[in-house]
Amino acid sequence: MKYFAVQIMTGKEDSFIELFGKTSHSTTLHVIKKKIQSKRKGKSVTLINPIFPGYLFFQSEDERPPVSLISALKRTTSFVRVLPATDAIKPLSDRDAEIVRRLLSFGKEIGTSLVTFDENNRIRVIRGPLTGLEGMIVKVDKRKRRAKVMLEMNDSPLSFDLGFDVMETDRGKTAV
């Protein structure tokens, strides 16, 4: 199975999936969302936002999706293009497809990871979505409990934040 990316108007991910679902096409579109804690007016709130705003993903068995699928996508409100260009559609590279597959494996919403910090203050992921991405973490904000991950998707750099919880010892210090 090959993964493909569809660009749509940013902020219309859920409505696009709903509208597309009303067509007779059986392809499932995926939006990859993250669940992250934030402060609003001093209160802790949970935000759920797309990791890749304006992009949806789908699978097809062939190197080029069926014409009926492309037509259904084009007819759906807020459609922009199938990457890299609607008239020259290509599947995601194996590396990009693996990233999408991995992120989708965490379900509809990617939650927090459990981490520790070593004696050199480097992050170590115990479990969760950040597992295996340690080398791609470019910034850590311990106060906000967020890690900025830098990836390349379609040969373009892309960064996003994921939340983490710190595993602590009985004395309140970070475990090693």
State both tokens at 142: 């311990």
The residue from 55, 86, 111 where one domain ends is 111
By residue count, the chain amounts to: 176
- Single out the residue in 91, 111, 131 at which a domain terminates: 111
Residue 114 near residue 129 (C-beta atoms within 8 A) = no
How many structural domains is the chain composed of?
A: 2
Domain carrying residue 126: 112-176
Q: Are residues 77 and 92 in the same domain?
A: yes
Instruction: Decide: 109 and 35 in contact? Cβ < 8 Å.
Output: yes
Kindly report, residue by residue over 119-155, the tens digit of the pLDDT. 888 888 999 998 888 888 999 998 899 999 998 877 7
Global pTM value: 0.84
- 102 and 123 both lie in a single domain: no
Looking at the fold, whether 52 and 2 belong to one and the same domain comes out as yes
**Domain end call among 111, 127, 149:** 111
Examine the domain organization and report whether 58 and 107 are in the same domain: yes
Instruction: Verify that 131 and 105 share a domain, yes or no.
Output: no
- Give me the DSSP letters along 22-76: TSS--PPPB--EEEEEEEETTEEEEEEEESSTTEEEEEESSSS--HHHHHHHHHS
Residue 54 and residue 15 share a domain: yes
Same domain, 100 and 130: no
Same domain, 176 and 101: no
Structure confidence by residue, pLDDT tens digits, 9-36: 999 999 999 999 998 678 999 999 999 9
172 and 146 in a common domain: yes
What confidence category does residue 117 fall into, taking pLDDT thresholds of 50, 70 and 90? confident
User: Do 127 and 66 sit in the same domain of this protein?
Assistant: no
Query: Is 73 in the same domain as 106?
Result: yes
Q: Which two tokens stand for residue 44?
A: 């802790």
Question: What is the distance between the alpha carbons of residues 57 and 5, in angstroms, rounded to a whole number?
Answer: 5
Domain co-membership, 13 together with 100? yes
Strand order across the beta sheet in which 156-166 lies? 123-127, 113-117, 156-166, 146-153, 137-141
Contact between 4 and 57 (Cβ < 8 Å) = yes
| pLDDT tens per residue across span 83-110 | 998 889 999 999 899 989 999 999 989 9
Indicate which CATH number applies to the domain containing 56.
3.30.70.940
